[in-house]
Chain A
Amino acid sequence: MTAVAGDLTSRNPRKITRMEQFFFWSLAAGLLLAATAAVTLRNPVSNAVALVAALVFQAALFVTLEATFLAAVQVIVYAGAVMVLFLFVIMLLDVKAEARRPIPWSKVLAVLAGGTAVVVGVPRLVAAFPAAREPLHWSAKAAPFGARELGTLLFSSYAPLFLTTGVLLLVATIGVVVLCRRDPES
Chain B
Amino acid sequence: MMGAEITLGHYLALSGLLFLVGLAGVLLRRSLLIVMMSLELLLNAANLALVAAARFQGIPDPQVAVFFVITVAAAEVAVGLAILVAIFRLKKTTSAEDFATLKF
Q: Which residues of A contact B (CB under 8 A)?
A: 17, 20-21, 24-25, 28, 31-32, 35-36, 38-40, 44, 47-48, 51, 54-55, 58, 61-62, 65-67, 69-70, 73-74, 77-78, 81-82, 85-86, 89-90, 92-93, 95, 98, 101, 104, 107-108, 110-111, 114-115, 118, 121-123, 125-126, 131-136, 141, 143-145, 149-150, 153-154, 158, 161, 165, 168-169, 172-173, 175-176, 179-180
Q: Are A77 and B37 in contact, CB atoms less than 8 angstroms apart? A: no
Task: State A36–B29 Cα separation when bound (angstroms).
Answer: 12
Hey, which chain A residues are within 8 Å of B52, CB to CB? 65
A39 CB to nearest chain B CB (Å):
4
Q: Is the CB of B51 within 8 A of A92?
A: no
Chain B residues with CB under 8 Å of chain A are 2, 4-14, 16-25, 27-31, 33-34, 36-38, 40-41, 44, 47-48, 51-52, 54-61, 63-64, 66-68, 70-75, 77-79, 81-86, 88, 94-95
A95 in complex: contacting residue of B7, B38, B67, B94, CB < 8 Å: B94
Are A98 and B71 within 8 A (Cβ)? no
Give A62 to B81 CA distance when docked, in angstroms: 27
Give min CB distance, A148 to chain B, whole Å: 10
A36, B21: Cβ atoms closer than 8 Å: yes
Whether A134 contacts B82 in the complex (CB less than 8 A), given A74-B70, A86-B33, A125-B12, comes out as no
Q: Check B60 against A24 for contact (C-beta < 8 Å).
A: no
The secondary-structure label for the interface of chain B is helix
User: In the complex, how many residue pairs between chain A and chain B have their CB atoms under 8 Å apart?
Assistant: 221
Known contacts A133-B9, A135-B5; decide if A82 and B73 are in contact (CB<8 Å).
yes
User: Which residue of chain A lies nearest to B13 when distances are taken between CB atoms in the complex?
Assistant: A122
Please report the C-alpha to C-alpha distance between residue A144 and residue B57 in the assembled complex, in whole angstroms: 10
Q: Contacts of B55 on A, CB cut-off 8 Å?
A: 65-67, 136, 143
Closest Cβ–Cβ distance, residue B79 to chain A (whole Å):
5
A70 to B13, CA, bound (A): 21
Q: Which residues of B contact A114 (CB under 8 A)?
A: 20, 23
Question: Could you tell me if B17 and A32 are in contact, using CB atoms closer than 8 angstroms?
Answer: yes
CB-based contact A61/B27 at 8 Å? no
Q: Which residues of chain A come closer than 8 Å to B71, judged between CB atoms?
A: 165, 168-169
Chain B residues positioned under 8 Å from A168 (CB to CB): 71-72, 75
